Amino acid sequence: MSEHHHGHGHDHHHHDNHFTDMEARVKALETVLTEKGLIDPAAIDAIVETYETKVGPRNGARVVAKAWGDPEFAAWLKRDATAAIASLGFTGRQGEHMRAVFNTPDTHNLVVCTLCSCYPWAVLGLPPVWYKAPPYRSRAVIDPRGVLAEFGLELSAEKKIRVWDSTAELRYLVVPERPDGTEDFSEEQLAELVTRDSMIGTGLALSPEAAR
Amino acid sequence: MSTREPVSQLSEGGRGRKRATAFPPSPLLASAELPKSAEGDPVFAEPWQATAFAMTVRLHEQGVFSWSEWAEALSAELYKPGRRADASDYYDCWVVALSRLVTGLSIASGPELDALTRSWQRAAEATPHGKPIVIENDPLR
ipTM, 2 dp: 0.83
Average pLDDT over all residues of chain A: 83
∠ CA A17-A22-A24 to the nearest 5 degrees? Answer: 50
User: Which of B1, B56, B57, B88 best tests the A interface by mutation, with the highest count of A CBs <10 A?
Assistant: B1
With respect to residue A32, please indicate whether it lies within any of the assigned structural domains. no
Residues of chain B numbered 60-99 and touching chain A (CB < 8 Å): 62, 64, 91-92, 95, 98-99
CA A82 to chain centre: 15
Question: What pLDDT is attached to residue B123?
Answer: 94
CB A19 within 8 A of CB B120: yes
With respect to residue A133, please indicate whether it lies within any of the assigned structural domains. yes
Q: Is A117 designated active site? A: yes
Chain B residues touching residue A112 (CB < 8 angstroms): none
With respect to residue A138, please indicate whether it lies within any of the assigned structural domains. yes
Range of the domain at A183: 2-12+56-211
Phi-psi region of B31 (alpha: psi -120 to 50; beta: other; left: phi over 0): beta
Query: Does the structure show a pLDDT above 50 at A206?
Result: yes
- Dump pLDDT digits (tens) for A46-98: 888 777 666 666 688 999 999 999 999 999 999 999 899 888 877 655 556 88
**Strand pairing report for A160-165 and A170-175:** unpaired
Q: Is A156 designated active site? A: no
CATH of the domain at A136: 3.90.330.10
Distance CA B7, CA B29 (A): 17
Of A87, A118, A186, A198, which residue is the catalytic one?
A118
With respect to residue A34, please indicate whether it lies within any of the assigned structural domains. no
Question: What pLDDT is attached to residue A110?
Answer: 93
Distance CA B86, CA B2 (A): 11
The domain total for chain A is 1
More confident residue, B41 or B21: B41
With respect to residue A20, please indicate whether it lies within any of the assigned structural domains. no
Question: What pLDDT is attached to residue A168?
Answer: 67
A171 to A3, A55, A200, B19: CA distances (angstroms)? 17, 18, 11, 28
Of A2, A116, A156, A198, which residue is the catalytic one?
A116
With respect to residue A136, please indicate whether it lies within any of the assigned structural domains. yes
Burial bucket for residue A115 (CB in 10 Å: 0-12, 13-18, 19+): buried
**Host H or E run for residue B124:** helix B110-126
CB A89 within 8 A of CB A63: no
